[in-house]
A and B are shown apart, each in its own frame.
Chain A
Amino acid sequence: MKSFTYERPSTPAQAAAAVAGTPDAKFIAGGTNLLDLMKLQIETPRHLVDVNGLGLDTVEPTAEGGLRIGALVRNTDLAAHPRVRKDYGVLSRALLAGASGQLRNKATTAGNLLQRTRCPYFYDTAQACNKRRPGSGCSALDGVNRQLAVIGGSDACIATHPGDMAVAMRVLDATVETVDAAGTERRIPIAEFHRLPGDAPERDTNLKPGELITAVTLPKPVAGTHIYRKVRDRASYAYALVSVAAILGKDGTGHVAFGGVAAKPWRDAAAEADLPKGAKAVTDRVFADAKPTPENAYKLKLAERTLGAALNQARA
């Protein structure tokens, strides 16, 4: 690990100013992803701004009937929160499907959104990776890409967002709240938070340098059965090959987002009108523009069947 200086600011605006005003500075919250990447020298910040002392760790009802989740609420606490379990079950389920108990105790709401891809070529510093080293190429395109994106990728990158929580937040239409160094606050719909790679895969999100996530808000609850189905290589503690976050009625109407298929949670709200026709009608539309590789084309059928299982679960 490269050496770094360290500070603990007292307010979110101070934290944002510290990162914006220091070369190669990064925020650290739970640290479970950043420190892993620092040990491998994939991330090499010269300055860490520890945001753990900023508060931002409560879950509060909003005036609109929704919830405001502080950026530093730990994954364990969010999954176990009584309101989340009762009204946003898809979010509890997604959180509990991710990582291990030890990691969920440390990992935060904001940090989960910002976790970087688990593409093996991003992790292997001997390989070309445009996300890790812009302009170096992408070894994944013709490499072992069974786990990687089937839609939304580019000639520069086919990495996926590895998380579960963001997929649930996408189906819940969450909003990310931020503050920047000047103290200006911004609200970013979750659909616009993560970026597709295009020709700049090094940028995972639309956050500006030094912009700090302060909270994630959820609109008022959506009725229906809340389902998160995750298909993975092991029964526990593994990343999704495909996941489905869905809120479904018994008649098959509802909302659905897919994980493990793209650089962001994938949702096509127009295609949701086809949910009563069954899974295939929906996934044919959602993945109409998919460009899978020979190794990961299975994900398209898997997405259809996982959604089918969710529809069956909602009808039961």
Chain B
Amino acid sequence: MVGATAAAPQDRGAGTSQTTARTDVPVLATVTFTVNGERRTLDLDTRTSLLDAAREHLHLTGSKKGCDHGQCGACTMIVDGRRINACLTLAIMHQGAEITTIEGLGQPDQLHPMQAAFVKHDGYQCGYCTPGQICSGVAVLEEIKAGIPSHVTVDLDAAPRVTEAEIRERMSGNICRCGAYSNIVEAMTEVAGGQA
């Protein structure tokens, strides 16, 4: 059993939420997880998203806040081997998790192959969605390798392959306002070829 304690007495006033004003007292909880190989313990307001924990508390500002509603993918991180929208999950729900952000994939002097391919193929323009695109791109190739099908996989019984259609469908949760999609497909295709 893990609990969170209120920093001050909770408002338990009568009435339901929508019509009644309620005193909004922050509630704190402690969480420990591993971020980019480093064990981190944080005391957080229970409301803190995993994205805000990374950006505001760990100062890992590579992951971006676009829509903050799971629609744009700019916040994509790899958690326990799976890409997720870090804006749509609470940090305190990730006790013991292994979290990889863009900073953990590679650094300017030691780029991850996907980062290098994005540079080579011009897979961005303004760059705001790029950390999410790259985290998602890395995870997408792992998903295809693991045999996870997609909406455009023709035969559910066969192993999916890296095709342009597969990449475009699987990357649909990452929006790029600059429209670098075709170059992102090229970057991912090259990395997939290198891995095959």
User: In the complex the two chains form, is B85's CB within 8 Å of A106's CB?
Assistant: yes
A-B contact pairs, 19 of them (CB 8 A): A6-B27, A7-B4, A8-B1, A24-B16, A30-B89, A31-B89, A31-B90, A32-B70, A32-B85, A35-B49, A36-B88, A76-B82, A86-B157, A96-B153, A101-B150, A101-B170, A102-B85, A106-B85, A237-B172
User: In the complex the two chains form, is A3's CB within 8 Å of B26's CB?
Assistant: yes
Contacts of A31 in B (CB 8 A): 88-90, 93
User: In the complex the two chains form, is B173's CB within 8 Å of A8's CB?
Assistant: no
Closest A residue, CB atoms, query B3: A7
Instruction: Pick the contact of B169: A7, A36, A44, A236 (CB < 8 A).
Output: A236
* Cα(A48)–Cα(B139), bound, Å: 30
* Cα(A261)–Cα(B61), bound, Å: 42
Instruction: Pick the contact of B173: A93, A102, A133 (CB < 8 A).
Output: A102
Contacts of B143 in A (CB 8 A): 76, 101
Closest A residue, CB atoms, query B156: A85
Q: How large is the interface on B (under 10, 10 to 19, 20 to 34, 35 or more residues)?
A: 35 or more
**How near does chain A come to B79, taking the closest CB pair, in angstroms?**
8
User: In the complex the two chains form, is A39's CB within 8 Å of B68's CB?
Assistant: yes
* Cα(A28)–Cα(B10), bound, Å: 20
Stretch from B17-25, B108-116, B186-194 contacting the other chain = B17-25
Closest B residue, CB atoms, query A37: B69
- Indicate if A2 sits at the interface (CB-CB under 8 A): yes
Closest B residue, CB atoms, query A103: B70
Instruction: Pick the contact of B83: A32, A36, A102, A235 (CB < 8 A).
Output: A102
Q: Which of B26, B46, B76, B170 gathers most chain A CB within 10 Å? A: B46
Contacts of A34-81 to chain B: CB distance below 8 A: 35-36, 39, 41, 44, 46, 48, 50, 52, 76, 79-80
Contacts of A52 in B (CB 8 A): 93
- Indicate if A206 sits at the interface (CB-CB under 8 A): no
Instruction: Pick the contact of A236: B3, B25, B157, B172 (CB < 8 A).
Output: B172
User: In the complex the two chains form, is B83's CB within 8 Å of A101's CB?
Assistant: yes
B interface majority secondary structure: loop
User: In the complex the two chains form, is B18's CB within 8 Å of A133's CB?
Assistant: yes
- Indicate if B12 sits at the interface (CB-CB under 8 A): yes
Q: How large is the interface on A (under 10, 10 to 19, 20 to 34, 35 or more residues)?
A: 35 or more
**How near does chain B come to A220, taking the closest CB pair, in angstroms?**
19
Contacts of A6 in B (CB 8 A): 3-4, 27, 29, 46, 90, 92
Contact with B along A86-110 (1 / 0, CB 8 A): 1001001100110111110110000
Instruction: Pick the contact of A2: B22, B29, B69, B82 (CB < 8 A).
Output: B22
Contacts of A182 in B (CB 8 A): none
4 more contacts with CB within 8 A, not counting A3-B24, A102-B84, A105-B83, are A2-B17, A6-B46, A36-B70, A85-B156
- Indicate if B147 sits at the interface (CB-CB under 8 A): yes
Contact with A along B66-97 (1 / 0, CB 8 A): 00111001001000001111001110110100
**How near does chain A come to B9, taking the closest CB pair, in angstroms?**
11
**How near does chain A come to B181, taking the closest CB pair, in angstroms?**
12
Contacts of A214-237 to chain B: CB distance below 8 A: 235-237
User: In the complex the two chains form, is B84's CB within 8 Å of A105's CB?
Assistant: yes
Closest A residue, CB atoms, query B77: A102
Contacts of B19 in A (CB 8 A): 133
Contacts of B93 in A (CB 8 A): 28, 31, 50, 52
User: In the complex the two chains form, is B88's CB within 8 Å of A35's CB?
Assistant: yes
- Indicate if A298 sits at the interface (CB-CB under 8 A): no
- Indicate if A9 sits at the interface (CB-CB under 8 A): yes
Contacts of A36 in B (CB 8 A): 69-70, 88
Instruction: Pick the contact of A5: B4, B70, B139, B172 (CB < 8 A).
Output: B4
